[in-house]
Amino acid sequence: METSVVGKGLPKFDAYTKAKGTIAYADDFSLPGMLYAKVLRSKYPAAMIISINTARAKSLPGVHAVMTGKDVPHNNLRAKFGQSTDIGPNFEGLYRVLAEEKVRFLGEAIALVAADSEKIAEEALALIDVIYEQLPGVFDPIEALKQDAYLVGDNDTNLVSQFKIRQGDVETAFKSADVIVENTYSVPFKDHAFLEPESGVAWVDENGIITIRVCTQVIEHFRTVAEVLGIPHNHVRVIGTWVGGGFGGKEDITVESFLALLTWKTKRPVKLTYTREESFLAHSKRHPFVMKYKTGATKDGLLVALETELIADSGAYTYLSPWVLLYATVNAAGPYNIPNVKVDTVAVLTNNPFSSAYRGFGAVQPNFAYESQMDELARILDLDPLTIRLKNCLQQGDTLTTGADFGGSVAVREVAEKAWQALGPKRADPGKHIKLGRGLAVGMMSYGRLTFLHDTSRSYIKLELDGSVLMRSGIPDLGAGQAQALVQIAAEELGVPLEKIKIFTSDTSLTPLAGTSTATRQLYMSGNATLKAAREVKERLINKASVMLKADKTDLKFENEKIIRISEPDKYLALSTVIGQCSTDGDELYSEAQFNAPFTEVPVSDVITGQTFADFTFGAYAVEVAIDEETGEVNVERAVTCYDVGKAINPLNVEGQLEGGGVDSIGYALTENFVVEQGYLKSHSLAEYLLPTALDVPDIETILVESGAGIGPYGAKGIGEPACNAMAPAIINAIRDAVGVRITSLPATPEKILFAMLSRIK
């Protein structure tokens, strides 16, 4: 299908105000009479709160409210974490607004203060007397699973959830394997470190509605906030701001409930913005995993069996752990055809920071493990990294380990070949201490939510009498061009220039709910909803124009704000003329359309079978690293990525996702180590927690494959999260290539590499 706006790397409309510095992020907004909030956080990772005395804090001049768990109408909720579908207790968890009795992690919120200034609020925090009794806690998920382990919460087990996959018979298959590779891999906590710390302002509007203007990926948390307050859902309104980065870290509730409680109590506007240090303490992390992998192959390099055990550290609360674990389970075998597979996964509570969503959501952890395994197998069998992958990768028509069919396109072969070949001929090692190495990795990840979540999205398009277009969508824009994509789709369908379209986003009371900006679902879900809405209004215009032009409906096209007769291009009507006629005749000039993802049933057993996702995105990374043998320092010299994106609605934004996702995973591979010791954070700042800087990373060379076979609009697939796959294992494999050591725990710090090199010599 030929398109004129879709498929163009046009600058996104929000880039202008962002470049001018005039866009109002959450903290850039204030109201008259506004109070400032601060949160008192636990000093211990595991403790019993014996008492909280707020009397001194309350009597401090300038303090308007001090609240503890007792003041929260519904402090303990069985939460569905932003879900609108009821999917049963296995996917719910406790959402506790303020700690009561048992404290579960360091930095858990205990009390709230609202005061005339931040300074007074801070002083008030110091005047709240909390008496704790420290408890032993448990900090290792394997320990936490033991019979007599310390119990993190109020249940009689620390187990959060477990899943299995059973395909074929691994035991027999391993007996027939010529080679078996066995390794245990581990990955640490990872912090999102979005540049914009959590922030929001809340107020009670003139109709008594609790209104919260906040940076969030999920405006649907308005329902949870209403339940916390015990008021009807429609009495809470969340206005989502342009978000200064989310990456999953603004998927769970951050400041919303705190703000709602304080504004409800004081009837004054309240602002709460976290400091960077508090942000590290307060929001979720990517799950650390311990991953045992046993992979067997024939001497020709054909995979015969995979057995794996994944243990995820959920930290102190459930949050999205069951879902992340399910993603990890389904992705554990990677994009390979393995006849015999046994996967066992478990997520466990500890007194560590809580883990939840992080871009890549359970797909990236096993990706590091299975791609390291493939590399080891290739080395033992003396195959090159591409060959072993091509021998085993999924092809069109293959099934997933759960038995589900892949629809769409399975382009593993193509992306692996393209990325690897783009590296070109090998270079000689540049100097004595510098060794070059190359690595390849592929990856798979779903886009769109788990199909049993019965996901839906809505979008609204309205034609103005002057021919301009107004759109409304609840879509939170995190900077990836989420809103721009919808505008480009409407422009494409209606033949209207981008400048003539205005979109209003992210308001639970005024825009149709589009669902969360998570799970790489917005282009797919809201893109399809927008396409549907646009085609509905288009249909009405065509009907009208065909009468006005006395032309067959199929003989009309939309172009340059005109409806034109294809057979006689000099016969046309201005779009505004047709709109005017529709208006005169009383035809609807708007459409609100809903798109429903394919629905499946909630899994009844922990053995996962059948369809869990609607479609997958496949991609590859090929890298070249240089390692200083004396210092162990790794420099990623080149990085080429190739992904099948289905259709690039906006290639500029797609490339941006690949570049950003790739660099995020360079951090994962080499520098980002969120250290937690016995529940205490050792990373408090961006000087201790090292994000890649411009100097640490190469240009990311991107190759887009457009199979057109995705289930998004125009055949698009999702790219935001899958973009984090493959880079980390490609780097680790390149390190193996350069200096002969296999790093099995991330990040691959210089010390780790040097140590591995030394122990190899011994």
Partner 1 sequence: MEKRLIKVTINGKLRELFVKPNDLLLNVLRNDLNLMGTKYGCGIGECGACTVLLDGQTALACLILAVTVDGQEITTIEGMGDPAQLHPLQESFIEHGAVQCGFCTPGMLLAGEALLKENPNPNEEEIREYLRGNLCRCTGYAAIVKAIKSEAKCQSADPGTLSE
Q: Which residues bind partner 1 (CB under 8 A)?
A: 9, 11-12, 14-16, 18-25, 27-28, 192-197, 242-245, 247, 273, 275-276, 478-481, 652-653, 655-656, 659-664, 685-687, 691, 693-695, 697, 699-700
Q: How far is the CB of 478 from ligand FES (least distance, A)?
A: 9
Q: What percent of the chain is helix, strand and coil (3-state, nearest 5)?
A: 30, 30, 40
Q: Residues 24, 195, 566, 574: which binds ligand FES (CB under 6 A)? A: 195
Separation of alpha carbons 444 and 389, rounded Å: 13
Which of partner 1, ligand FES, none is residue 20 near (CB under 5 to 8 Å by kind)?
Answer: partner 1
Separation of alpha carbons 394 and 397, rounded Å: 8
Q: How far is the CB of 241 from ligand FES (least distance, A)?
A: 14
Between residues 359 and 562, which has the closer beta carbon with respect to partner 1?
359
Q: Residues 249, 335, 476, 479: which binds ligand FES (CB under 6 A)? A: 479
Cβ pair 305, 184 in contact under 8 A: no
Write the CA distances from 285 to 30, 466, 467, integer angstroms.
Answer: 29, 49, 47
Q: Residues 11, 62, 168, 245: which binds ligand FES (CB under 6 A)? A: 245
Which of partner 1, ligand FES, none is residue 619 near (CB under 5 to 8 Å by kind)?
Answer: none
Between residues 659 and 737, which has the closer beta carbon with respect to partner 1?
659
Give 237's contacts (C-beta < 8 A, 6+ positions apart).
205, 209, 210, 211, 212, 222, 507, 508, 509
Q: How far is the CB of 97 from partner 1 (least distance, A)?
A: 26
598 scored as a contact of ligand FES (CB under 6 A)? no
Between residues 200 and 334, which has the closer beta carbon with respect to partner 1?
200
Nearest CA to 142 out of 295, 288, 319, 294 is that of 288
Which of ligand FES, partner 1, none is residue 27 near (CB under 5 to 8 Å by kind)?
Answer: partner 1
Between residues 3 and 635, which has the closer beta carbon with respect to partner 1?
635
Between residues 30 and 399, which has the closer beta carbon with respect to partner 1?
30
Q: How far is the CB of 20 from ligand FES (least distance, A)?
A: 14
Tell me the three-class secondary structure of 343-356, residue by residue: EEEEEEECCCCCEC
Between residues 29 and 504, which has the closer beta carbon with respect to partner 1?
29
Unique residue bearing structure tokens 């690293």: 625
Q: How far is the CB of 692 from partner 1 (least distance, A)?
A: 8
Q: How far is the CB of 255 from partner 1 (least distance, A)?
A: 15
Q: How far is the CB of 142 from partner 1 (least distance, A)?
A: 32
Q: What DSSP element (H or E) covers 167?
A: strand 159-167
Q: Which residues on neighbouring strands pair with residue 303, listed in sequence order?
A: 297
Q: How far is the CB of 176 from ligand FES (least distance, A)?
A: 51
Instruction: Report the residue count for the chain.
Output: 762
Give 645's contacts (C-beta < 8 A, 6+ positions apart).
617, 654, 704, 705, 706, 710, 716, 717, 719
Between residues 144 and 523, which has the closer beta carbon with respect to partner 1?
523
Between residues 108 and 655, which has the closer beta carbon with respect to partner 1?
655
Write the CA distances from 381 to 302, 340, 566, integer angstroms.
Answer: 10, 20, 61
Between residues 1 and 694, which has the closer beta carbon with respect to ligand FES?
694
For residue 4 the two structure tokens come to 């004129």
Q: What is the DSSP letter of 582?
A: H
Q: How far apart are the first and last CA of the chain?
A: 62
Q: Which residues on neighbouring strands pair with residue 704, listed in sequence order?
A: 643
Map the footprint of ligand FES across residues 691-730, applying CB under 6 A. Answer: none
Between residues 180 and 691, which has the closer beta carbon with respect to partner 1?
691
Which of partner 1, ligand FES, none is residue 242 near (CB under 5 to 8 Å by kind)?
Answer: partner 1
Which of ligand FES, partner 1, none is residue 22 near (CB under 5 to 8 Å by kind)?
Answer: partner 1
Upper half-sphere CA count for residue 363 (Cβ side, 13 Å): 27
Phi and psi for 597 in degrees, rounded to 5? -70, 165
Cβ pair 48, 101 in contact under 8 A: yes
Which of ligand FES, partner 1, none is residue 697 near (CB under 5 to 8 Å by kind)?
Answer: partner 1
Which of partner 1, ligand FES, none is residue 762 near (CB under 5 to 8 Å by kind)?
Answer: none
Q: How far is the CB of 245 from ligand FES (least distance, A)?
A: 5
3-state secondary structure of 37: strand
Q: How far is the CB of 27 from ligand FES (least distance, A)?
A: 12
**Interface contacts to ligand FES, rule CB under 6 A:** 195, 245, 479
